[in-house]
Each structure stands twice: as C-alpha cells, then as structure tokens.
Structure 1
C-alpha cells in the first residue's frame, strides 16, 4: 500500500494481499502504467536475490507483487508492506444483510492425489541410536529422513527450562543425545495421532540455543534461518540445525506415528511432547562446521541467475 493516511495505507496493503496472482500474464503482455511497471521491477529484483523457497536458494523467492495506491501529500507518504505465505490460503465471502454466508466444502476428488515417496538420495537417520559422530558427518544441504523418537518444545517450554535451570531444578526430561522439534502441535481430531504439526520459526529460540546445547542436545528442527549467535553455538557444540517443511503442517504431521506429553503438560500445545516419527523429511540448514545453507545457497543462485540470465523478461 502506498499513500493515503498511515491507517488507510495498511488497509490498501491488506486489500492488495487478497488479489489473485497474475504476474505471469502481466509480464507476458507488458505493463500498462507505472504501478504495473513497479510491480514487475520489484518482482524481478527480489527473485534475482536467489533466496528461493524456504531460503534454500532458487528462482522463485516471491510469486507476485501487488500494489494499491491512494493520493496523499508528498511531504508524508506512508508505505505499508504485508508479506504473505507462498502457501497462500484465504476464502472470499460477501455479507449483504440477507443472512449468514455459507462456504461450500471443497471436493477432495478434485484435488491432486498426493502420493509422496522419499527420494532415494535422502539419508535415513535413526534418532534412537544417533551419536555426535553421525551428526558431525552431515553437510549443509543434505536431505535427511528422521526415524524414531524426538522431543518437542518452543517458546514457552524454552522459557520454563531456562527458569528451572537458573533455580537449579531438575528438568522433566533429559535432552542429552536427543533431537528437539520446534513445534506446538494442534490437538488431534478423530483417529489422528496428532493434528497439524508444522515447524515454528527457529530464530525465536536462538537465545536459548547455547543453553539447550549445554544440556547435551544433538540437533534442532525448525523452519527459517538461524542468527549468527545460534550458528556459532551450533558450530562450537558440533551440533546441527535441520529445517523441516514450512507451510504444510498437515502433511508434515502424517510422518508422526506416535505422540505423548513428557513435560509441562499445563502448557497445552506448548508442552514438551515425544514424537515417534517415520521418514520425517528435513534439510541440514546448519552443519557441525557452522556452514549455513541460508547464507550459502542464495549466493550460488544469485551468481547462477546473473551468469545465465534466468530471470530475463518473457
């Protein structure tokens, strides 16, 4: 959103967020005004950064750019930006005063059939026998399939762990030799073992990383990048940070075959669970040498894009 009052500018950005993706047709026909030209310019420059999906490098960092504007005085021009997930999800309805709006349930037979099979190049890992020596062999960019038992925990659990350690209290579960998954699972429905259980942003746990590694933790699973302090702590401990698939919480949960609370039950979804997983897919984002794929992969793609002209206008 550009222009108007500050409040109206944010509203414009939210309205723009709801518009359908049409960057492909727009680039094919070419811009017809300055706003469309600006959309294309931003789209191409962002994708030329090579950040890619999940920050692992690639051509598609963003899928579209939307801009809505309103008149305002040039001395105070507000700009509001609202990012949307690539797995964009929203429903449209109209309230006209005639009664409630009913949204028809989707017909599942019209959806593509998802029949996921692990890549033969992925490395299967037994979490129940995992050792520091095995973790040290992983390299950034490696794809792993986790099998066995791993613990969970996110903001509230980490804060309580820090408070207990400061008071010299014993933790409800040992983290020595274990892997932790940054997740707050949704309650199961029907015969589900667990509800949607996608990874939460790992950066929020950066300030607790060294503390958890001091407890003997071998690796962490989350989404998004780690900051410099966490990356350095991982390198010093010869640990690893593994990135799970973001934006697909229901599909991720299908790899979870067992779930039980092992600590902080009063925290609800933020309690510490023990998950039994089967072929749980992750990518090594920070390896035991401190090599960070979120820093290295975009550089490779940025050079590749510039060298091969992969983002030239259609």
Structure 2
C-alpha cells in the first residue's frame, strides 16, 4: 500500500491550473500552425495568426490565454491500494473539498490572478462565488496504487454548445452530428476539437464526449494510415465533412472549423443510440499527470521552438485604421463585411448584467450613467490586471447573449458600434441595419494579445458588478473584423441573413 499526502495532490492541482491558464498543449499549437499555414481565406488566416501570437505571448508572459479562465473540471483515477494522509495531522478531506481548496489557491494567486466565473443560486441572485469554486470532480477507483489526474479549465463558450440526442439504431450518427454544427454557431471559438460520445446512457455519453477531448490531436496520422475500425472511420468522415461546411475559424469562413474529431463509444441498449457532442475551443487548456512522489507536480513549459517563426505582434498592413473618438454614422456606412479594422480611441465595455441594467433604466425613463451616443461597446469581462498592465487578458464574449438588448440600445441611445465574438441573430441583424450601426468581431481565445492593445482602463459605472462593470478602455490598434455591416450583411453565413 502506498501513502500520499493530500497536500501534495492539492498543490499539484493548483500548480496545474496556473500552468494551463497560460499554456496550450503542444499538440494543439502544432495543429493551429498547420491550419495557419494551409488556410487560404484571409479573415480566417488573420484570426489563426492572432491565436498563435496569443499562444506565444501567454506562454512567455505567464498570463491567461483567455479571459474566461474556465470552469475547473478534475478527473481522478485512484488506485484502490492508495492510502491518503495529512501532513498537518488534520482529518482527511473529501476529494471535492480538496479540489475546491486547490481552485481557491490557484485562482487567487496574486502573480497571475484568474477570473472567477462561477455563480451560486443559479435561479436566484446568481452571486459570484469569488474564487471560481466549486470545481466539477469525477473520481474512478481502479486497481493498483497509482493516482492519475486530469485537470481541465473548460471555457463556458464550449460547454454551452453541447448537444445530446437519442437516435434510433437505424439513424446515421454522422448525419446527426453534421446537422448540429451550423446551429452551434461560432460562440465556441473554432477552430477546436469536437468530442463525440456514442452509446451507454445519456449521462455516460456526455461524459465520454467530454473526456474524448483531452487526448492528443492525431487526425493527420489517422489520415495517413487509414481507419482500422468504425470509430476511426467516423472520425475521418466527420473531420472532412465539418470542415467542408466552410464555417471556419471564428465563424469567419475558410477551411478549418475543427482541428480534430474525437469519438468514444460504449455498449448501449438495443433500441437506442445515445449520442453526445461537446466542443473544445481555441483556448484548449488541460494537463494530465501521475502523482508518484511526495512532492507536488512541477509542469515544464514547452520549448520556445514550438512557436518559432510566430511574431510578437499582429500585423495587418491592409487594415483600415479607425479613430473611435471621431466616429460618425457616415464612416460606419463605408465599412463592409470581412474588412479588417484597427481601432484606436475610447470604447466602453458591457456584458449581460450591465446591459440588463441599462435597458431597465431606459424602460424606467431614468438617465444612464454613461453617454452611448456615437460610441462603441465592447462585450468583455477582463481578468484583473497585474504589475504595469492597463488591464488583464480581455477577449470578447459571445455577442448573441446581448442580442435581445440591441434594438433598445440603438434606438434609445445612439450607440453606433458593438464588438464581440461569433454571430448575431436575425433580430439583432435587422436592428443593426435599421439603425445604420455595425457589429465587429474580435478573436475569441486571443485575450492576452488583445489586452496589449488596451493602453488604459477605468471603471465608469456599476462597479459592484466586478468584471462585468462598465469600463472605459483606451485602445491602440485593436484588431477586429467587420462581421455585420450597416446594410445588414453578415460574414457568418450560418446566421440569419437580413431580409
């Protein structure tokens, strides 16, 4: 029987969470690079370049890849012969409590604070827990005395796009998966990996789909040798057909929506085929390790050669430079979908909670705390700044969550521009067209790179909302793509077009 101190496990999980906050898995970086080298569609290629630069900068700066630093999910395989002890002599903790303490420790690290996104009372006040606890913990007891740990920081944009169905035995799993992809939109920040779980029970299928994501990308090797069984054949089929849809990087079009498709299968009832689909985003973050010594696990970063040839700055010589402080409707009317802009000047931030307060004030006939006429709003909840940073990593959040507020704000305030990620719905596109506004897409998963273009930041309203408060950022060459222009044309072909 082997004995392991719980403190070593707790510290290892905390170290892992810090490490994955700023380090992509090496296979993911290599897959991004292959996609970047092969991509021919200009907006998608530019987005891939930003993701690779962000990956390099985050690794070097040890700051988060994405402002959504994830829901912590820990998968433990505990050997039945392993015995836990406590160095401090206190009673043993349950695994949930131990992992929660590791999350508290990691997310509150003053050298690299991570954003707390978890809320309690989900149907009531939805109060932020303040330290990103609780974690989601899965434990499997196995033979032997080893401890295997998989630590994941899973962004909300991927999990919110998860899908499940119970198919008939005669139905095509591939056709069902393919039918779901356009409806998932781009809020999961492609390119990423799609996990598919087939069989078992509903909850087992969902768990298999998620766990399948956390294995090395090997689709090119599979293509080279060919499928040897049905699961591998399905992977190849789905990988090719999904990329042929042309959704592309960030939904901007092109050839690379998925970098790999992972499939896991289990026995199931003769009358059913449970099928689950879970995507992993461009901020893929996980690490797997065995804890086989009394010391906490140390995680070594990949050699810098992994990013060889990747520049430190995003260059877009063809981009149109825009001064947000001199913005007017005539200028906005000149923009066209697919165009790259570099924004400088002042922008306000607002997410879900701030939007709700603004429209409630409008409905009550009360003054707003900020003047939105002729201004731009950026949908973002930044990470806390450290050192000389103006703001921590500050990438866009999914724009569709703000769709229901668009018409009210455009009509009542004179707001001119919105910045976020992914597509807009039909009603929002119609409102943008009706009011002569525009929607600009920033790259989801490039949060640290984007924060470098924010030269100052201050809270100007709703400071009680924390990261969801309204900030005013001063931008310098902040890269975006025109996603919906003032005529109602959208670059996201899978979104509802203007009538």
Normalising to structure 1: TM-score of the pair?
0.90
Q: Name the structure 2 match of 1:29.
A: 225
Q: Does 1:81 align with 2:277?
A: yes
Distance 2:336 2:271 in 1: 52
Q: 1:66 aligns with which of 258, 262, 267?
A: 262
Partner of 2:335: 138
Alignment partner, residue 39 of structure 1: 235
Q: Unmatched 5+ residue regions in structure 2?
A: 1-196
Q: How many angstroms does 1:83 deviate by?
A: 0.4
Q: Does the Cα contact within 8 Å between 1:182 and 1:199 map onto a contact in 2?
A: yes
| Alignment match, 1:261 | 459
Closer/same/farther in 2, CA of residues 78 and 152 from structure 1, 3 Å limit: same
Specify which structure has the higher proportion of strand: 2
CA distance change for structure 1 residues 10 and 296 in 2, over 3 Å: closer, same or farther? closer
Specify the alignment match of 2:29 in structure 1: none
Question: SS in structure 2 opposite 1:91?
Answer: strand
Moved over 6 A (4+): none
Q: Distance in 2 between matches of 1:281 and 1:223?
A: 12
After superposition, what is the alpha-carbon deviation per residue over 1:146-179, rounded to whole angstroms, capped at 9, x for unaligned?
A: 0100100010000111111122211111000100
Contact 1:63–1:86 under 8 Å retained in 2: no
**Aligned to 1:202, which of 399, 403, 410?**
399
Instruction: Please give the alpha-carbon distance, in whole angstroms, between the structure 2 residues aligned to 1:52 and 1:18.
Output: 22
- 2:417 touches 2:438 (CA, 8 Å); kept in 1? yes
**Alpha-carbon distance, 1:74 to partner:** 1.9
Cα deviations by residue, 1:126-160 (Å, 9 ceiling, x for unpaired): 00011100000101111100010010001000011
Q: Does 1:234 align with 2:432?
A: yes
Q: For 1:161 and 1:94, locate their aligned partners in 2 and report how far apart those are by CA, in whole Å.
A: 49
Change (3 A) 1:14 1:289: same
- Is contact 2:247-2:494 (8 Å) kept? no
Map residues 183-198 of structure 1 onto 2, 5 A cutoff: 183-198=380-395
Moved more, 96-105 or 138-147: 96-105
Question: Given the alignment, which residue of 163, 169, 174 partners 2:371?
Answer: 174
Residue 246 of structure 1: how far off its partner (Å): 1.0
- Aligned-residue CA RMSD in angstroms? 1.9
Q: Which residue of 2 aligns with 1:221?
A: 419
Q: Mean Cα displacement is larger for which, 101-110 or 255-264?
A: 101-110
Q: Residues of 1 paired with 2:281 and 2:388: CA distance?
A: 29
CA distance in 2, matches of 1:71, 1:99: 40
Distance in 1 (alpha carbons) for counterparts of 2:289 and 2:374: 50
> Residue 491 of structure 2 aligns with which residue?
293
Matched residue count? 298
Match of residue 118 from structure 1: 315
Distance 1:260 1:109 in 2: 37
Q: Which runs of 5+ in 1 are unaligned?
A: 300-314
* Partner Cα separation in structure 2 for residue 207 and residue 97 of structure 1: 53
Q: In structure 1, what is the Cα distance between the partners aligned to 2:360 and 2:283?
A: 36
1:211: Cα distance to partner? 1.2
Displacement after TM superposition at 1:247 (Å): 0.7
